Amino acid sequence: MTESELKALVSLLDDDDKQVTAHVEEKILSIGKEAIPFLEKEWESSLNPTVQSRIEELIHTLQYDLLRERLKEWYQSENKDLLTGMWLVATYQYPDLELEKLRQDLEQIYYDTWLEFRPDLYPLDQVKLINSVFFNKLKFGANTKNFHSPGNSMINIVLESRKGNPITLCVIYMLIAQKLKLPVQGVNLPNLFILTYKDANHHFYINAFNRGLIFSRQDIENYINELHLVPQTSFYEACTTLEIIQRTLRNLVLSFEKLGEHAKAEEVKLLLVEISGGGELGV
C-alpha cells in the first residue's frame, strides 16, 4: 500500500459511519507493524482529536500484536535469554525501548562492580562485596513506597530509578553476578523472590529486596512455616528463566488491577497465555 493510499484511509477514521471506520481500521491493521511509523507521523500532523485517538488505538494494537509475536518466539526458542525476556515485558509500556540500551546500562553496572570485585575471596565475602557496590555505591533498593507500581516490573525503570520489587532487583543482581562467573540463580519463594548461591561446596541465599541479606535453608524453612505452607522443592532450588518472566508478568497483572487499569491487566494476562501462563499471582 502506498503512502497516499494510507493517508486516504486515515482521513476516513473520523467518518460517522461505524462500518466505514471499522473497515478502515481493519485495513490498516492488516498492514502490520510496517504501518506504525506512518501512523505516528499522521498522529503528529493531525489536528482532529477523534482521528488522533483512533490512531493511538491502532498503534497500540499493532505494537501489542508485535509484542505477542516476539514473546511467542522467545518462548519457543531453545535459549530463553533472561534480559531479552525482561526487555519484552518492558516493551508493553515502552514499545520503543531498545534491548541494546539495557545491555549498555547493565554493562556499566557490571564494570562498576568488577572494579571492586576480588575472585580470590570466599563466596560469602564476594557477595558482601557485590552488596556494597549494588546497594551502597549504586543505591539500588526496595521500592516500598510504591510497591505495586507497574514500573517495578519494568527493568528499564528500575535501572533508571534504582528502585524495584524483589524479582526485578534480583534479576539485575543475578545478571551482574553471573557475568562475574558466580553461580547465582533465582528462587521462586511464595510472596518473595530471592537468589541462591550454589556450587559444590557452598549453598546459601540472598535477599536483594533487603539489601542483599544472606541467609540459610533453615531461614527459608522458618519462613514457609510462618506462612503455614507445605514445603516444596521449588522453594529451595533455582527456577528457570521462563518461570522468572511468567512471575514478572503476573506481578504486572496485579499492579494494573490495583490501579484499576483492568484493560491493561487483561492484555498482560494474554501475554502470559503466550508463554503457557497460569499460576498464582506472586510478588
Please determine, for residue 224, whether its predicted confidence score (pLDDT) is greater than 80. Answer: yes
Annotate 138-156 with b (16+ C-beta within 10 A) or e (fewer): bebbbbeeeebbbbbbbbb
Mean pLDDT of 69-98: 96
Per-residue confidence (pLDDT) for residue 151, from 0 to 100: 97
Per-residue confidence (pLDDT) for residue 229, from 0 to 100: 94
Q: Torsions phi, psi of 245, nearest 5?
A: -70, -40
Per residue in 86-139, pLDDT (tens digit) is: 999 999 999 999 999 999 999 999 999 999 999 999 999 999 999 999 999 999
CA distance to 45, 103, 121, 205, per residue, from 182 (Å) = 52, 19, 12, 13
CA distance to 2, 115, 169, 180, per residue, from 111 (Å) = 48, 6, 18, 10
Please determine, for residue 281, whether its predicted confidence score (pLDDT) is greater than 70. Answer: no
Per residue in 180-213, pLDDT (tens digit) is: 999 999 999 999 999 999 999 999 999 999 999 9
Domains of the chain: residue spans and CATH = 3-76 (1.25.10), 82-274 (3.10.620)
Report the phi/psi class of residue 191: left, alpha or beta, with left for phi > 0 and alpha for psi in -120 to 50. Answer: left
Position 116, amino acid: E
Query: Which comes out higher in pLDDT, residue 161 or 27?
Result: 161
Alpha carbon distance 276, 75 (integer Å): 9
pTM: 0.89
